[in-house]
Chains A and B, each alone.
Chain A
Amino acid sequence: MKRRLAYLLSFLLVLTLTLSACGQKTTTTAGGADVIKIGWMGSLSGDQAVWGQCEFDTVKMLIEETNAKGGLLGKTLQVVGYDTKGDPQEAVNVAKRLTGEDKVVAILGPNASGSAIPIASVLEAAKVPDIATVATNPKVTVMDGKVKPYNFRVCFIDPYQGAVVAGYAIDILKAKNAAILYDVGDDYSQGLTQFFEEYFVKKGGKIVAKEGFKTGDVDFRPQLSKIKATNPDVIFMPYFFKEVALSANQARELDIKATLLGGDGWPSEQLISMAKAAVEGAYFANHLDFDDPEVQDFKARYKAKYNKDVELNGYLVHDAFLLLVDSINRAGAADSQKIRDALETASITGITGKINIGKDTHNPEGKDAAIIKIIDGKYVFQQKYAAE
């Protein structure tokens, strides 16, 4: 009986191995001697599937366009893509398969920080560079103060938005005194606060109040009353839309007239439905805006090919692809190590802004963010702005 069970189990094991081995591998363009293989990974299933699908479609479209123009270094480009299912463990498996089996020269994606962080050791062992798309967590490229040699990205990190908003407040809004209300129990909020504070002070502004609350709080009047007494020009609110709606309403209730500022945790239908009057005239920073003139050409090409709208990820993978093509050109060979070295000194202009990769961070330094103003309950693109 035991033996039969063992047979059954080993049979099942073999079966699952074979099935997963011939699972969702997707390639475009037939292989050959004169091809450059690049890898892509991201979610094609699960709750992030919409974004992953858009990324993959974008990469496929750009590769077709590049090949139609004669390819790269006289060779044809080819993409091998796998589904990470949005699962960090699966991302590691996919990275192993792309580097070990498919022998790609570089990888684009994944879109999520949770998947981009654990693949570092695989990349280092195989010496293959990766360019993440929308992975905004600082730990994707830098861990414990040390840059990860093979991880790059094209999006700015979360806390950088704090610097952008601080610069915009001083340069454009001419603010002198700022108050901060932030969530003490949240990394995102703390990171934005730290960057905002440093940058605002460096540019000659003054932080007149810095008040905290805890995730789950619904009443911010004690903190806001204290902030009101310091009479700031702007209040920075680096947290998510639910708390933004509540605190904005309570601020207006206490007759605070300061301009409200925030980050990419803001945009949502809920914010407007709950606090339309309170957030009127507020500004926040985001990765890009779909109404930005510079993205219109790509948007139209994508729409013509797939008859769908591009998601945020599409724009960023577009620039990740540009960055990779630029680095392969400068490396002069489809060689992973040379591409990695070229990536470290890359400086290109993408549709989402200038991408100057920092040698010590592997992040795009001083990248443009989109500044958006809430006017009449609508999100209106103002301009691009970068914090030097």
Chain B
Amino acid sequence: MTQFFQQFINGLSIGSVYALMAVGYSLVYSIMNFSNFSHGGVIMFGAYFGYFLLTIYKLPFSVAFIGAALLTALMAVVIERVAYTPLRERKAPYLYFIISAMGASIFLENIIIATIGPTFRTYPEIFSKTPFKLGVLSVGRLDVLMFVTSAICLALLIYIIEYTKIGKAIRATAYNIKASALMGVNTNVIIIIVFALGGFLAGIAGVMFGMKYTVYPQIGAITLKSFIAAVFGGLGSLQGAVVGSILLGIIETFTAGYLSSQYRDLIAFALLIGVLVVRPMGLMGKATEDKA
């Protein structure tokens, strides 16, 4: 029984990292209908921003944390301007956006390798590594922080989308970009805001990831799993991305813990494919369009 609860805690903790990353995919997909594969690279930059603000500029943690998130948001907007705006202006097919996104992702990874180097770096120890004790269970301090931060960020994001005027505009744009433009919504600004929001969360996810594990140029590869989680939950739905991520974290953990760690990915992902066969729109997705 101890193991069951410990594995549940492990799963929640892994899932909350996926969730922070997954909402970025969902946000962009809901507006622009394509999977923004450069998101992984942006998260990786977030991790490096946080690392350098903490180690070189020696900023206090809270300042570095917010600073990294803001820089990453800026970065996401720049990528949108450079890699996607020209395509949008020419009304290019969605496939071209995906290719451009993949290109951006490879570019981001390699620019880090070329300038900073491929070796991994370690965040200074900000929070003690000694875990909290709940009887025989142990819960990492960082895990609690991550879970709480993820929850606050996601709640804020959902509040912005559902209850503010900007959120209304975002939802309208997601529903129909042309009609919203005709109704006086400045869709260009909306797209920038969406990328900034996604980038801000990517920055937070990157710093969290860096603190919890380590910083290296291939962090982007891990976000592939959060993308799958987003599809599983229903691309385009924020709640779906969160639920999908937490579920994926728990499924993975329990597969490794109770079935076989050697076949973890095989079993976990076969299960996901099974779910998508029955519900192609994902758990909470509304649209049934292709999830390219």
* A residues with CB within 8 A of B: 184, 211-214, 216, 218-219, 221-223, 225-226, 228-229, 242, 245-246, 249, 252-255, 270, 273-274, 277
A252 to B, closest residue via Cβ: B129
Out of A226, A246, A277, name the residue touching B3 (CB < 8 Å): A226
Q: A273–B257 contact, CB under 8 A? A: no
A216 to B219, CA, bound (A): 9
Whether, in the assembled complex, B109 has its beta carbon less than 8 Å from a beta carbon of chain A, the answer is no
Given known contacts A214-B265, A216-B222, A222-B253, is B214 in contact with A246 (CB within 8 Å)?
yes
| A221 / chain B contacts, CB cutoff of 8 Å | 10, 13-14, 253
Q: B214–A222 contact, CB under 8 A? A: no
A246 to B7, CA, bound (A): 18
Q: A222–B10 contact, CB under 8 A? A: yes
| A229 / chain B contacts, CB cutoff of 8 Å | 2-3
Number of B interface residues, CB 8 Å?
31
* B residues with CB within 8 A of A: 2-3, 6-7, 10-11, 13-14, 119-120, 122, 129, 131, 138, 140, 213-214, 216, 218, 221-222, 252-254, 256-257, 260-262, 264-265
| B14 / chain A contacts, CB cutoff of 8 Å | 219, 221
| A226 / chain B contacts, CB cutoff of 8 Å | 3, 7, 256-257, 261
A277 to B, closest residue via Cβ: B129
| A245 / chain B contacts, CB cutoff of 8 Å | 122, 214
Given known contacts A245-B214, A270-B120, A274-B214, is B131 in contact with A222 (CB within 8 Å)?
no
| B254 / chain A contacts, CB cutoff of 8 Å | 222
| B216 / chain A contacts, CB cutoff of 8 Å | 242
| B2 / chain A contacts, CB cutoff of 8 Å | 229
A121 to B185, CA, bound (A): 72
Q: A249–B129 contact, CB under 8 A? A: yes
| A228 / chain B contacts, CB cutoff of 8 Å | 3, 6
| B262 / chain A contacts, CB cutoff of 8 Å | 184, 211-212
Given known contacts A211-B256, A254-B138, is B3 in contact with A218 (CB within 8 Å)?
no
Out of A212, A218, A253, name the residue touching B261 (CB < 8 Å): A212
Q: A254–B6 contact, CB under 8 A? A: yes
| A249 / chain B contacts, CB cutoff of 8 Å | 129
Given known contacts A255-B138, A270-B120, is B257 in contact with A225 (CB within 8 Å)?
yes
| A184 / chain B contacts, CB cutoff of 8 Å | 262
Please report whether the interface of chain B is mostly helix, strand, loop or mixed according to DSSP.
helix
| B213 / chain A contacts, CB cutoff of 8 Å | 218-219, 246
B213 CB to nearest A CB, Å: 4
**A-B contact list, 22 entries, CB within 8 Å:** A211-B261, A213-B264, A216-B221, A218-B214, A219-B213, A221-B14, A222-B10, A222-B254, A222-B256, A222-B257, A223-B257, A225-B3, A226-B261, A228-B3, A229-B3, A242-B120, A245-B214, A246-B214, A254-B6, A255-B138, A270-B120, A274-B214
| A213 / chain B contacts, CB cutoff of 8 Å | 261, 264
A202 to B140, CA, bound (A): 38
A286 CB to nearest B CB, Å: 21
Q: B122–A218 contact, CB under 8 A? A: no
Q: B214–A223 contact, CB under 8 A? A: no
Q: A270–B261 contact, CB under 8 A? A: no
Q: A253–B3 contact, CB under 8 A? A: no
A254 to B, closest residue via Cβ: B138
A218 to B260, CA, bound (A): 17
B188 CB to nearest A CB, Å: 37
A277 to B3, CA, bound (A): 25
| A218 / chain B contacts, CB cutoff of 8 Å | 213-214, 222
A255 to B140, CA, bound (A): 11
| B140 / chain A contacts, CB cutoff of 8 Å | 253
A219 to B264, CA, bound (A): 13
A255 to B6, CA, bound (A): 12
Q: B131–A255 contact, CB under 8 A? A: yes
A4 to B257, CA, bound (A): 71
A383 to B60, CA, bound (A): 46
Q: A225–B214 contact, CB under 8 A? A: no
B164 CB to nearest A CB, Å: 35
Given known contacts A211-B261, A216-B218, A273-B122, is B252 in contact with A222 (CB within 8 Å)?
yes
B252 to A, closest residue via Cβ: A222
Q: A225–B6 contact, CB under 8 A? A: yes
A246 to B212, CA, bound (A): 9
| B218 / chain A contacts, CB cutoff of 8 Å | 216
A271 CB to nearest B CB, Å: 10
B5 to A, closest residue via Cβ: A225
A191 CB to nearest B CB, Å: 16
A228 to B7, CA, bound (A): 11
Residue among B3, B140, B221, B262 having the largest count of chain A Cβ atoms under 10 Å: B262
Q: B7–A225 contact, CB under 8 A? A: yes
| B122 / chain A contacts, CB cutoff of 8 Å | 245, 270, 273-274
Residue among A213, A222, A223 having the largest count of chain B Cβ atoms under 10 Å: A222
A212 to B266, CA, bound (A): 13
B245 CB to nearest A CB, Å: 14
Q: B119–A222 contact, CB under 8 A? A: no
B260 CB to nearest A CB, Å: 8
A58 CB to nearest B CB, Å: 29
B4 to A, closest residue via Cβ: A225
Residue among B6, B11, B213, B256 having the largest count of chain A Cβ atoms under 10 Å: B256
Q: B261–A222 contact, CB under 8 A? A: yes
**Can you name 20 extra interface pairs (CB under 8 A) apart from A218-B222, A223-B257?**
A211-B262, A212-B260, A212-B262, A218-B213, A218-B214, A219-B213, A222-B256, A222-B257, A222-B261, A225-B7, A226-B7, A226-B257, A229-B2, A229-B3, A242-B216, A246-B214, A253-B129, A253-B140, A255-B131, A277-B129
